[in-house]
Every structure is written in C-alpha cells, then in structure tokens.
Structure 1
C-alpha cells in the first residue's frame, strides 16, 4: 500500500506501511542539540545510489573529539524501495589511510566522498552516506561485510544482549529483514521509531546545515536562511515511506497517493525497471499531449475569474478519454510526465491545505520521491503557490532522503557520541553567531 500522511508533533512507528507520503507538523525540538555543518552531493552507480558529502563553502569540517576511535557507528533506514545507510569511520592522522579508504570505496563502486573530520591532536574520521535498492539487499549486506561495519554498532546497550553487535535501524525493513542481518552479519537491529527518526533528522539538518532548505520556482533554486529561534512549528512532508504515530505526534491527514503510486503506475504504464529510469523518462516528456488543460476547454483562453491559466491542468490524463487511442499510441515519456505532474500536484495541494488547517507557513518536503528532480519540485511549488494564493512556499531539503537514517544514527548514546553531537551544535552556533 502506498499513501500520503500528515502528522502533528512527534513520531512513533506503530503501524508500518511502505511507500507512503507522511505529513508531519513539528511543534517542538527533537535532538536539536546535535548539529553539524554538512553538505551532500549525489551520484548513482550500478543500481545503488550513493551520496558523498562535502563541507559548504570551505574545506573539511573540523570536529572536536576526545576519543575518535570510539565513535564509529552504523545506522540503517530500511524502506520498501531503498536502504539508507549512515556510518562513521574513525581514522588516524595519516592522510594515506584516508586515501586508502576512499580507494576502497571507489573499488566497490559505492562511495567516493565523505565528511572528513579532524581533531586538534591530528586524529581523523569520516561520515559516510549511502543508499541501496531494497530489492538488492545483498549488495548492502556485502558492503557492510567488506567494510567490517557490523562492528560499528553499539555493544553496550543495556536493553539488548551485551555480546551482540547492535545497530540502530528504522523503517519497515528493520523488522522484515532482522533475521537476515542476524544470519549474514551477526547484527542485531535495534529498531528505532521511524517517525521520531524523521523528526530528529530534519531538525538536525535544519539547525546544523547552512543552506539546507531552498525554494524552487521556474528552474531557480533559492536558499532560505533558517531562523533557529522561529523554526517551529513547521510541516514536514516526507514523500516515499512512512508510518502512523501516536507518541509525541498526532496524525493530521493522509492520502493513498504517494511515491509508491508514481512508481507502481509508472512501471505498469511505461515498463521502466527502476524509479530513476522513470524519473529520467519524465524529463523528456510533454504532459500536454495527455492532460486536458483549461485552455483545451475554453478555446485556448484563461479562466481568469478563478485564477486558472490556459496551461493549468483541468484533468490529468483527461485527453485519453476523448481520443481513440490505446496506451501504445502514447509515448512513454509523455505518460511518465503526466503521471509525475499528477502525483506532485496532489502532494502539493494536500500539504498546503493541511498547513492551512494549523496556521503553518513553513512546509518542508523530503523523501526520495523528490530526489532533487527539477520538474517534481517545480510542480509541488506551483501547487502550493496556487492554493495558498502566494502566501506560502514549498521548501525543499537538500538531504531529503537521509532524515530517517540520520535520526537513527543520532540515537547512539554510548561511546561519547552525545558529546560529539553537542559539539556539532556548539561549532555551528559559533560560526553562525547563534544561541543553541
């Protein structure tokens, strides 16, 4: 089942449903003292998308740590379509060792860049971000094994067996594949509430990363300066996967139309074999061939009385009704474009209407459905702008896909990680002249 959901407040993974769009109104701070200035870049290699990280407008980010060798952790967000991974690898002051690590990543065609961190005593470390297709989970397991990441968990969790390698994990796959990770890697997945992870990850990025949020209109990306003292409340729209929650957060709305709908229908209609292939196909399409526009009804004219231009969509796939054509008569590119427009419009409209219900002006969109895709962002932006009559804007997150994985990563409380994340915040505030 795929769906779109809105929640108010915090999260708890009570009922897990893959490929949802979650709408979440964030009212208070979750893990906001765990901050860092980071920036990610994207690539796609051999069916597995990887994210390398870079420091915004500077060299490597410095991280003060009293004990670098005891902060290596691995966390996973295992969704219905993708597995998102965050791991921290400790190192020494030797640059050659870091180079060897990069070479090893490239050899496996997984990761080429990471966040380099250094201490005043010369110790070094790196934070890595990767994602795999869930259908190819063996690639994820093989990567973990090749990098010996199964030892990067928490071996001191009082609630779990002390002789096990404990790894923080969230998402439905943390339950579904728990036995597989145990069998293949000897890992016990410590399941963390999915919705709380999304909130923690979003707050982390919005408070820690310069130029994290941006608007996108007519091909123009404009970064938005976040006022940390006036961040809450906001609506977080996580498009792609999610859960119901009833702990610190209240569900406010939902729809069955989401990222899974786009991928499922797209696969049936176009025969695309991957989500990214479908997105790429949509770039080349023209939805006007299939969609019925206002101008088609009004003889090429606007319906200005209610603010509809002639190019506004009156009915998605509407022309397929009146034309005596079969699916094969339409280009797959045009079908993909129309489908993407339909889903994105729906998400944008519902997001704004729920923001209106609760008097919210800030609407942040995340999740791997968006993937920085220009047409998707532009369509959502147009929908929010139209329904709000220009009073609200859609805000996108550069690191949208790793909210859950980052939130799970931040759940490590042992081996000094809490102190380190607190230092992230202190350094970020010092550089931004902000008060935590």
Structure 2
C-alpha cells in the first residue's frame, strides 16, 4: 500500500463531539460530529470518508480523547498513534496561540472547555493536569434540557444572546448597598438567585434563563482558570474547546477577565485544539 506523504490526520474522541483534523499539504481541514459510540475501525473509516479521506492513504492516524484506547494499534497498513489527552490539550493550546520554538518555554495555562473543563499547564514539552471542573458544556446541555426544553447549542446561543442574565440572577445592586472591590453594580451576586427569593412570583423568559445559564457556566470556568493560572505562575492563558465557539460564553469570560485583571485569550478553531495537538505530537 502506498501512503500519501503530504497527508496526516488526527481524531479527538470527546464525550460530546468527535473532532477531526486533516493536514493535506499546507492546508488544515477540520470537521466535527456528535459522539455516537465507542470508536472502531469501521467507524473511523466512515468518519474520514465523509470528507473524502481514505484511511489507507495515511501512514499513521493520531487519536486521543475519551475512549481512543479501544482502537487497535493499526488499521490495515495505517499505524494508530495513541496520544495522551493531557499532552494533546497542552500542545494544541501552544500551537493555536502561536507558541512554537523557543516561545514554547512560555508557561501557559490551557483551559479545555468541553463537556467538562480540564486545566493543563503547558511549558516546553511538559504538560500537566493541574485542576479542572465537572462544570462545562455537558452541564449546560443537561440544564438546558431541564429549564429550556432544548439541547441544541445553536438555540441556546440564540436565546442567550437575546436575554438578560439578571432576569434570573441577582446582581450586586440587588443585594448590597455599596461596592465590592472593583466589581460593578451589575456583576452577578447569586446565579439564579432571583428565582430563589420567596418574594419572587413573576415569570422569567426563556431568553433570560438561557443568558443566566451561559453566565453560570462561563463565570465558573473563567474563575477557576484565572485562579489556577495564578497559582501555577502562568504567563499566559488560552481557552480551547467547543464552549468557546459560543459568542455569549466569550462575552462573559471577557467580563470576568476585566474584573480580575486577567487576559483569557481566545483563538481561531478552539474546538479543534486537542486534535491539532495530537497531530503535532504524532509528527514527533
């Protein structure tokens, strides 16, 4: 079998999404599909074929995430290179931030905002899981199913963009008479706190509920990321994962960064960072 030397690919088998990166010459092709089942040789072939990539043309295929280790070490004549997910997240964060060569010695906190949240310190060729949270995109979808009646991320995003989080949350102005540090009066004091007041008997729109939900998830991720980065002495912070695709998520994260004088960087194609990291690590 003759492999195509200018063709390389990586697959990240996430809890919610399966992400694919293909490098053909100098071009990078990416696509994603919802997680369906544990990977096997047949499903890998089918996944690549959806974008006209023949597995047999690959000398090797990098895999990471979730249940990637259930795959064999080779499929036909294609070597299956299994990449540790922590390393893939860290290397992908470096790559998307443009930290290559000597710049990779920069101490970087990579927040992988997927179904849950993993915080990886990356520096040079060293990658370590330092913290994280069970709160993430999976939390958003599960709670959205309960309170909004949908699990469609695009619908949640559209609703949140039209809503006011303080329709469901309590702001500082609602609960105190003076400032707390540098936080503005409309900063969140209690997530969904308005609904928890015994005196509240009104209705909250789906839009306001969606805005409050995204706010809860984004604030939690932003705060643990800032605290972990400072505890680890990281010089830079980058956010990756498909949660970062949501403009409403990015808006809240940006506000939290302003409140605490921290820059949480957002890059292009954040949802493919882990697959890109696996691809680069498989290159050697």
TM-score using structure 2 length:
0.81
Is the aligned partner of 1:206 residue 2:81? no
Q: What stretches of structure 1 of length at least 5 have no aligned partner?
A: 1-67, 91-116, 118-125, 155-165, 210-226, 419-436
- Give 1:299-378 correspondences, 5 Å limit: 303-304=178-179, 306-322=181-197, 323-325=199-201, 329-371=203-245, 373-378=246-251
CA apart distance, 1:318: 0.4
CA apart distance, 1:248: 4.2
Q: CA RMSD in A?
A: 3.4
Q: Which residue of 2 aligns with 1:410?
A: 280
1:82 to 17, 36, 39: 17
Higher RCO, 1 vs 2 (CA within 8 Å, ≥6 residues apart): 1
Is the aligned partner of 1:397 residue 2:249? no
Q: Which residue of 1 aligns with 2:257?
A: 384
Once the two structures are superposed, residues 13-56 of structure 1 have per-residue CA deviations (whole angstroms, 9 ceiling, x without a partner) of: xxxxxxxxxxxxxxxxxxxxxxxxxxxxxxxxxxxxxxxxxxxx
Greater shift in the superposed pair: 289-298 or 337-346? 289-298
Secondary structure of 1:266's counterpart equals helix
- CA distance in 1: counterparts of 2:267 and 2:185, whole angstroms: 31
Once the two structures are superposed, residues 102-123 of structure 1 have per-residue CA deviations (whole angstroms, 9 ceiling, x without a partner) of: xxxxxxxxxxxxxxx4xxxxxx
Structure with more of its chain in helix, by fraction: 2
Once the two structures are superposed, residues 365-407 of structure 1 have per-residue CA deviations (whole angstroms, 9 ceiling, x without a partner) of: 1111110x332112112212323xx3x2121112211111112
Q: What stretches of structure 2 of length at least 5 have no aligned partner?
A: none
Secondary structure of 1:257's counterpart equals coil
Once the two structures are superposed, residues 161-199 of structure 1 have per-residue CA deviations (whole angstroms, 9 ceiling, x without a partner) of: xxxxx52111114236x38x96xx997743211111122
- Give 1:107-118 correspondences, 5 Å limit: 117=26
Is the aligned partner of 1:150 residue 2:41? no
Answer with 1 or 2: which has the greater Rg.
1
Q: Which residue of 2 aligns with 1:130?
A: 31
Contact 1:266–1:272 (CA under 8 A) maintained in structure 2:
yes
> Per the alignment, do residues 308 and 207 of structure 1 end up closer, same or farther by CA in structure 2, a change over 3 Å counting?
closer
Q: Which residue of 1 aligns with 2:7?
A: 72
> Per the alignment, do residues 187 and 331 of structure 1 end up closer, same or farther by CA in structure 2, a change over 3 Å counting?
farther
CA apart distance, 1:202: 2.1
Once the two structures are superposed, residues 83-131 of structure 1 have per-residue CA deviations (whole angstroms, 9 ceiling, x without a partner) of: 11112346xxxxxxxxxxxxxxxxxxxxxxxxxx4xxxxxxxx431111
Contact 1:74–1:152 (CA under 8 A) maintained in structure 2:
no
- CA distance in 1: counterparts of 2:226 and 2:87, whole angstroms: 22
